Structure 1
Amino acid sequence: MELTESHTLPVPQERAWEALNDTAILKVCIPGCESIEADGENTYAVALTAAVGPVKARFKGRMQLADIDAPRSYTIQFEGQGGAAGFGKGDARVTLEPAGENATTLHYTASAQVGGKLAQIGSRLVDGAARKIAAEFFKRFGEQLGAGDQDDGGDDGVIEAVAAQDETHTAEGSDAAGGEEPQKRKRSWTAWISKS
C-alpha cells in the first residue's frame, strides 16, 4: 500500500514542526490512539485500536524517527502487532515547506505492508481504511494548530477539549447498543470505497 498526499497547515513551519514532535498533540490527533510514550532516543511505544473492514484490533508497536532535518523533514518507521488480526509495518517520509507567512505545506509519502487477517481483507479495503485514518488525523491536526493559535491558554486547553469531545463521542457510540453505530460505519466505509 502506498499513500502520497499534501496538506496546508494554518501555522508557520517552526510551529508545525513542534506540533509534529509533540506526543500529547499526536495522541489526540491519531484516531484510536491510546498511548504514545518515549522508548529511547527518537523512538516511541504506541498503542492504538483500529478497524479495517470487519477486523477491529488493538495494535501495540514502535515508531522511530530517522533522517531528521529539523524543521524540514523526517522519516517515520513503524511496526505494530495486532494479535490474531495480524501486523502492519512501513515508513512515511514527511516534509514541511513554508507556504506564506503563517502557513506550511506538509507533504508525505507512506508505504506499508500488512499480514495476517488484515492481508486477507483485500488491498482496496486496507487502502480505504488508511486514507480514512490519514484524513481524520490531518483534520484533527489542523484543528489543534488553528485552535492553539487562537487560545492564549496554550495547547493544554485544546487537547483537553478534544479529548472530552472524543469521550463524549465514544459514550454516544456505546449507547447506540449496536444499532446506530454500525450503520454509520457501514455508510462511511461505502463512501471511502467508492472514492478509491
Structure 2
Amino acid sequence: MDMQGSRQLAVTQQQAWDALNDPAVLKACIPGCDKVEATGENQYAIAMALKIGPVSAKFTGKITLSEINPPASYKLSFDGQGGVAGFGKGSAEVNLTPNDDGCELAYTVHASVGGKVAQLGQRLIDGAAKSMAEDFFKRFDGEMQRQHPESYAAKMVMGEVETETPAPAQKPGIPVWVWVVGAAVLALAAWLGS
C-alpha cells in the first residue's frame, strides 16, 4: 500500500516541527492511540486500537526515526503486530516546507500488511487510511489553533481556515506528522494485514 498527501498549515515551519515533536499531542491527535513513549534514541513504542470495516483489534509496534533534518524533514520506519488481526511494516518520508501562508506538510508512506485486514479489500483499506489521516489533521489543526491563535486569526479574517474544536491542551516532544503517517499507517497496516 502506498499513500501520499499534503496539508497546508497556518503556523510556521518551526512551530509545526515543535508541535509534531510532542508525544502528548501525538497521542491526542492520532485516532485510537493509547500510548506513545520513547524506548531509545529516535525509537518509540506505540499502542493503538483500530477498526476497519468488521475487523477491530489492538496493535503494538515500534517506530524508528532517521535522516532527521530539523525543522524540515525526516524518515521513519515502522513495524507493528495486531495479533490475529495481522501485521504491518513500512516506511514514511515527511517534509515541512515554509511558504507565504505558513508551511506545507507533505508525506509519502509505503506499507505492507498481512492477516485478516488484508482480506478486507484495498478499497476499504484505502478509505480507512484516508479517513484516519483526515481525522488526524483535523485534530492537529485544532491543536495548532489552540497553541497559535494569532496565526489562525489572520487566516480566519480572510476566510481561509475552517474552525475546528480545539484538542485538549498538550505538552511539547515527537513529530506528530511522523506519527500520524507512521503510527496511523502502522496501525492501519496492522489492521489491513490482519
Alpha-carbon offset, residue 159 of structure 1: 5.2
Dislocated runs of 4+, deviation >3 Å: 158-162
How has the CA–CA distance of structure 1 residues 139 and 160 changed in structure 2, closer, same or farther, with 3 Å as cutoff? closer
Q: Which amino acid aligns with 1:32?
A: G
Name the CA distance, whole Å, in 2 between partners of 1:135 and 1:40.
30
Q: Which amino acid aligns with 1:21?
A: N
Residue equivalent to 2:108: 109
Residue equivalent to 1:75: 75
Calculate the TM-score normalised by the size of structure 1. Answer: 0.75
Residue equivalent to 1:24: 24
Residue equivalent to 2:136: 137
Residue equivalent to 2:6: 6
How many residue pairs get matched? 155
Q: Which amino acid aligns with 1:47?
A: A
Are positions 1:124 and 2:88 aligned together? no
Query: Rg larger in 1 or in 2?
Result: 1
Determine which of 168, 171, 188 is the counterpart of 1:160. Answer: 168
Consecutive unaligned residues of structure 2, counting only runs of 5 or more, are 151-165, 171-194
Residue equivalent to 1:155: none
How has the CA–CA distance of structure 1 residues 149 and 47 changed in structure 2, closer, same or farther, with 3 Å as cutoff? same
How has the CA–CA distance of structure 1 residues 56 and 91 changed in structure 2, closer, same or farther, with 3 Å as cutoff? same
Calculate the TM-score normalised by the size of structure 2. Answer: 0.76
Alpha-carbon offset, residue 150 of structure 1: 2.7
Name the CA distance, whole Å, in 2 between partners of 1:96 and 1:20.
11
Looking at secondary structure, tell me which structure has more helix per residue: 1
Q: Aligned-residue CA RMSD in angstroms?
A: 1.6
Structure with more contact order per residue of length (Cα contacts < 8 Å, sep ≥ 6):
2
The percentage of aligned residue pairs carrying the same residue is 50
Consecutive unaligned residues of structure 1, counting only runs of 5 or more, are 152-157, 163-196
